[in-house]
Structure formats: C-alpha cells, structure tokens
C-alpha cells in the first residue's frame, strides 16, 4: 500500500516531488477530479514512473492524508491546561490561522475529504480527533466553571475556531474576490478581527 521506501537520494527527491505535486492537484480538484497525468506532469515524471514509486493513485492520496494529521492536530494538542485561559485560546486561534495562511493546500485537501463524507478519515475523526476534542473541551469547561472565561459550549467553541480559521484557506478565492484588488493580503485584518471576536466572547 505504501510508497517505495526512499533509501537513495533520487528516491527521496522523487517521492517528495510526487507528494508535493499530488497535494496541489488533489487540493484543487478533489480525489476523483485529479488525474495521474496532471500529477506526473507537475512532478516532472512520466506516469509509469510515478507508479513505480506509488502502487496506485489511492496510495498517494492516503499518504498525504495521514501525513497531514499531525500538522492539523498539533495546535489543539498544544492548548495548555495550566496556561492563562483566554491567552491560551487566542494562541490556538493564531496558530490555526497561521496554518491556513502557510498551508492552504493542506487545508483544502482536508476540506475536500470531509465535504465528501470523510470516506477515508471517518475512523480517525471518530477516534483520535474526537478523543482530543473531548479532552480539551473538558479543560475549557473547567475554565468556564472556575469563572476564568465566560460560559461557553466547549465543542462548539472549537468548531467555531476551525470554521473561522479554515475559511480563509478553503474559501480563499471568494475572500479575495469579495475584498477586491484593494486588499491583497486578507490575513492581517483577519487576525485582528478574530482576536477581537474571541476576546469579547471569552474575557470574563
């Protein structure tokens, strides 16, 4: 199921180029919309050569998704129960927005997958992700009960953070078109806006 173990320099370079090319194509077209021709072209390889490194289109896609998960969950993992509540949540928002800015393709790959029913990620979402959210929701609930933040539904607070930050990656085209040519980089204003939003929501 997995790619050729990259022992040599050439193998490392080629599997890397394939994954990078595939990320761009899958993010822009979805799994079924992407073709091996496009990926091979973008990676600078022939189609059969690409299939020398990965056994199938599905295998490339799965490799990308699984490789993505840690990047995606780390910011939430870093939420520190011992920290100052509002500052911790604002830092989480900031880290998540940075992911949208620096890894928009990864965000869109993930969005494509969930949007189409998460056929390959349902297990991880119902397992690993759910457990992590549960744990951090408990932290947020304790903060609220201690009066250190205003009362809030913990899970829906987390959904809000995901929705608001990922929107700037997943709907980037719409954001830019609606703002127009005047404001080329929407992220600074987005960061200020989200900081104000969550501060007013949470600060007791």
Partner DNA sequence: GTCTATAGACGGATAGAC
Partner DNA sequence: GTCTATCCGTCTATAGAC
Q: Given the rule CB under 7 A, which residues bind DNA?
A: 4, 7-8, 10-11, 14, 34-37, 45-49, 51-52, 55-58
Which of DNA, a second copy, none sits in contact with 171, Cβ below 5 to 8 A by type?
A: a second copy
| In the complex, least distance from residue 61 CB atom to DNA, rounded to whole angstroms | 10
Q: For residues 31 and 174, what is the distance between their CA atoms, to the nearest angstrom?
A: 22
Do 41 and 35 form a contact (C-beta atoms < 8 A)? no
Cα-only R_g, the chain: 19
Site string for a second copy, 124-153 (x = CB under 8 A): -xx--xx--x----------------x-xx
- The number of residues that bind a second copy (CB under 8 A) is 52
Q: CA torsion 113→118→119→123, rounded to 10°? A: 130
Q: For residues 66 and 24, what is the distance between their CA atoms, to the nearest angstrom?
A: 16
Report the residue from 31, 54, 72, 103 that binds a second copy according to the rule CB under 8 A. 31
Do 71 and 99 form a contact (C-beta atoms < 8 A)? yes
Of residues 10 and 173, the one with the C-beta less far from DNA = 10
Task: Provide CB contacts within 8 A for 25, sequence distance 6+.
Answer: 34, 35, 38, 39, 42
Cα–Cα–Cα angle for 59, 4, 74, nearest 5°?
Answer: 60
- Residues of span 179-198 touching a second copy by CB under 8 A: 179-180, 186, 189-190, 192-193, 196-197
Tokens at 120, concatenated: 């390959």
Residue 77 found at the interface with a second copy (CB under 8 A): no
Task: Name the residues that contact a second copy, by CB under 8 A.
Answer: 28-33, 108, 111-112, 114-118, 122, 125-126, 129-130, 133, 150, 152-153, 155-157, 159-160, 162-164, 166-168, 170-171, 173-175, 177-180, 186, 189-190, 192-193, 196-197, 200-201
């Amino acid at each position: 199921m997995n790619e050729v173990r990259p022992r040599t320099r050439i193998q490392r370079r080629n599997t890397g180029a394939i994954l990078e090319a595939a990320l761009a194509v899958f993010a822009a077209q979805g799994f079924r919309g992407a073709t091996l021709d496009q990926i091979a072209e973008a990676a600078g390889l022939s189609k059969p050569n690409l299939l020398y490194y990965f056994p199938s289109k599905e295998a490339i896609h799965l490799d990308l998704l699984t490789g993505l998960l840690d990047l995606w969950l780390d910011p939430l993992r870093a939420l520190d129960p011992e920290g100052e509540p509002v500052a911790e949540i604002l830092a989480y928002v900031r880290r998540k927005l940075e992911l949208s800015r620096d890894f928009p393709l990864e965000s869109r790959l993930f969005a494509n997958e969930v949007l189409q029913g998460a056929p390959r990620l349902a297990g991880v979402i119902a397992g690993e992700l759910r457990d992590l959210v549960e744990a951090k929701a408990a932290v947020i609930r304790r903060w609220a009960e201690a009066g250190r933040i205003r009362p809030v539904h913990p899970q829906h607070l987390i959904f809000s953070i995901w929705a608001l930050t990922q929107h700037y990656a997943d709907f980037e085209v719409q954001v830019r078109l609606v703002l127009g040519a005047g404001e080329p980089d929407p992220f600074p204003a987005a960061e200020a806006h989200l900081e104000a939003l969550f501060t007013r929501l949470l600060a007791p």
